[in-house]
Structure 1
Amino acid sequence: MTRFQANLLLTLVALIWGSAFVAQNQGMADVGPLLFTGVRFLIGAAVVLPLAVLEWRRLGRAGRPLSRLDGWHIAGLGGLMTLGAVMQQVGIQFTSVTNAGFLTAVYVPLVPVLAWLLLGQIAHWSVWPAAAGCLVGAFLLSGAHQLNIGLGDLWVAGSAIPWALHVLMVGRWADRMGAPFLVACGQFAICGLLSLLAAFVMEPVHGAGIVAAAWPIAYTGVLSVGVAFTAQVVAQRYAQAADAAIILSSETLFAAACGYLLLGERLNTAGLIGCGLMLACILLVQLMPLVGTLRRRQILTTPSN
């Protein structure tokens, strides 16, 4: 696979994730957020399971089986995923697909901020204006300029915290284990089981509701959870990390486009400005570190007179 083909595959991943906001919104008409999340993540785990089994056997033949600590790490990732997915799903009931897509993207600049606070990794200077800009963009997008911040907006924005922690931890733990499919399948299964157990306690669970929401559940379970994550893992073997981050952040644009085409959602002038500001900040936090790297390389390679 060439770098260009990998970037195309990552664009498909972003399209699937962005369009999934529409399916998540429509699925709420028939089932509760916990039940929806539980079923779709168990479906996603089933999709990745064959690859996880092959990986398990490969690690066994290589004499590198996963340890008990690895299991706890996977469980922790599943817990963070449960918090992020459930909070996002609850919020989608009370906000638009466009708002949900852009507010979820707050996790992109939040990841390096948490890396600095929790792991002592020094953040690039561009992180701070990007993080502030994302907050201002979310303020404009959610209608806060009219002092009317919706409950759904707060839920979706709050979900960015566990999502950011998940992104931060999965990068450290999955790389050390060398088992991306086992990590994916395990965390999906844990997220699905926890959400489903909570659904039986807190929501009405009816088979008729699951049948009525079958298409949204299947779409988000098979494509958004299972296929898109697997495609991301495959593509990032051949794509530059900076390219992947920028392309995947475009899920916010696809969410807005799908909300416009499929649900007839429209943004006012302030909302459009908020969208543009958030996208600019997402790109800023990814591109500015590259500018410094390229400048240093140019200085090192330029012959002195």
Structure 2
Amino acid sequence: MIKQLRGSILLLITAMIWGTAFVAQSKGMDYIEPFTYNSVRTLIGGIILVPIITLFKKAENNKKHAPLSKASSRANISGGICCGIILFIASSFQQYGISMTAAGKAGFITALYVVIVPILGIILKRKTGLKIWVSILIAVTGFYLLCIHDGFKLSKGDFYVLICAVFYAVHIVAVDYFNGKNTDGMIMSCIQFFTAGILMGICMFIFEDPHIADILSAKYTILYTGIMSCGVAYTLQIIGQKTTPPAIATLLMSLESVFAAISGWLFLSEKMSARELTGCILVFAAVISAQSNIFKPVAEET
């Protein structure tokens, strides 16, 4: 029970970091192009994990913990590469989609991974209880009120963001799968960032014209999103998902959109309408409703 509660708290912190990082990401795009921004911040996320992993390994050796088996080491590598490729695809579609559609619509469509994850669970023969489905419906309604203001028409950019939502859902399922293979969350996360960062870097040189001066102009937003959004949040996601069923983990992480709206209100003096506040309340209510399942053994959700 304590481990499952800790997993939920870690995923809640993940959502808070991703939500507050939205402001920094928006500002960063004023200076550099999508692949350049994503590549640099993702590689920074991998780099900062290297000394942290080294320190943790030294501490484990001092306590004479058993080293990871060869099978676990292989799972770290294969899991990191697989999740990195998925993250690269999802992030790329999201950046290009956001450039072609309204941010509110993009936020709503991205949040649809709360529905896609349990659907993937059905395909993979994993059951999701009725209470979780009701919570998901409430959350989607909340996201609509929070993000959609002037009607809804599907554009090319919306379609790209929808593809992004599908791959974010696949990423959550992939993390859950590799967590079942006794992987080390920090090592897998580090490999994931280097994989995604390198792929983004290749695309950066092919499709964009990066300049050091422009990157330095965006250094503060890059450092914040690289260290916090990538290095910290994605690592907490992997660790938190170890003890949290995918459907509930998805609802918790979907609070990212709510925290983004709140951070915009706090830091950018953006006003929140009664409609948006209602959306926030509905999403919070959905997550709280789903949390009653967190004290059940994870096996009951599978």
Fold conserved between structures, TM > 0.5: yes
C-alpha spacing 1:233/1:128, structure 2 compared with 1 (3 Å) = closer
Identity between Structure 1 and Structure 2 (%): 30
Tell me whether 1:104 sits opposite 2:116 in the alignment.
no
CA deviations on 1:103-122 (whole Å, 9 max, x unpaired) are 433323432221111x1112
**Per-residue deviation, 1:222:** 0.7
Change (3 A) 1:6 1:174: closer
Q: Which stretch has the larger CA shift, 247-256 or 151-160?
A: 151-160
Q: Distance in 1 between matches of 2:139 and 2:159?
A: 14
The superposition leaves residues 246-292 of structure 1 with CA deviations (integer Å, 9 ceiling, x where unpaired) of 654433321111122333434555544444444444544x346469x
CA distance 1:225–1:249, change in 2 (3 Å): same
Q: 2: CA distance between counterparts of 1:55 and 1:197?
A: 31
Task: Find the counterpart in structure 2 of residue 90 from structure 1.
Answer: 96
- Between the aligned partners of 1:33 and 1:236, the Cα distance in structure 2 is 28
CA contact (8 A) 1:48 1:230 kept: no
Q: Report the equivalent of 1:79.
A: 85
Using the TM superposition, name which of 2-11 and 250-259 deviates more. 2-11
| Distance of 1:276 and 1:15 partners within structure 2 | 16
Match of 2:191 in 1: 186
Instruction: Identify the residue that residue 44 of structure 1 maps to in structure 2.
Output: 45
Q: Please name the residue that 1:121 is paired with.
A: 126
Gap runs ≥5 in structure 2:
298-302
**Aligned in 2, Cα 1:106/1:62: closer, same or farther, shift over 3 Å?**
closer
Deviation at 1:195, TM superposition (A): 0.9
Deviation of residue 74 (structure 1)? Answer: 2.8
Normalising by structure 2, we get a TM-score of 0.76
Counterpart CA distance in 2 for 1:234 and 1:172 is 13
Q: 1:170 to 1:7 in 2, by over 3 A?
A: closer
- Distance in 2 between residues matched to 1:14 and 1:112, nearest whole Å: 19
Which of 198, 204, 207 aligns to 1:202? It is: 207
CA distance in 1, matches of 2:278, 2:155: 19
In the alignment, is the contact (CA less than 8 A) between 1:47 and 1:227 conserved in 2? no
Computing the radius of gyration from Cα coordinates, the structure with the larger value is 1
Whether contact under 8 Å (2:11, 2:237) holds in the other structure is: yes
Match of 1:251 among 256, 259, 264: 256
Question: Does the CA-based 8 Å contact 1:141-1:274 persist in structure 2?
Answer: yes
1:226 aligns with 2:201: no
SS at match of 1:256: helix
Question: Aligned residue pairs: how many?
Answer: 290
What root-mean-square deviation, in Å, do the aligned CA atoms of Structure 1 and Structure 2 show?
A: 3.9
Distance across 2 between alignment mates of 1:48 and 1:151: 36
What letter matches 1:40 in structure 2? R
- Secondary structure at 2:129 match in 1: coil
CA deviation profile, 1:151-171 (whole Å, cap 9, x unmatched): 655544442211111111111
Runs of 5+ in structure 1 lacking a partner?
295-305
AA matched with 1:254: F
Query: In 2, Cα distance between the equivalents of 1:154 and 1:144?
Result: 18
CA offsets, 1:30-77, max 9 Å, x none? 111111111111000111123445659979945536565763443221
- Change in CA separation of 1:82 and 1:183 when aligned onto 2, cut-off 3 Å: same
Structure 1 residue aligned with 2:168? 163
CA distance in structure 2 between the partners assigned to 1:61 and 1:275 by the alignment: 44
8 Å contact from structure 1 (residues 105, 252) kept in 2: yes
2:108/2:144 contact within 8 Å kept: no
Q: TM-score, with normalisation over the residues of structure 1?
A: 0.75
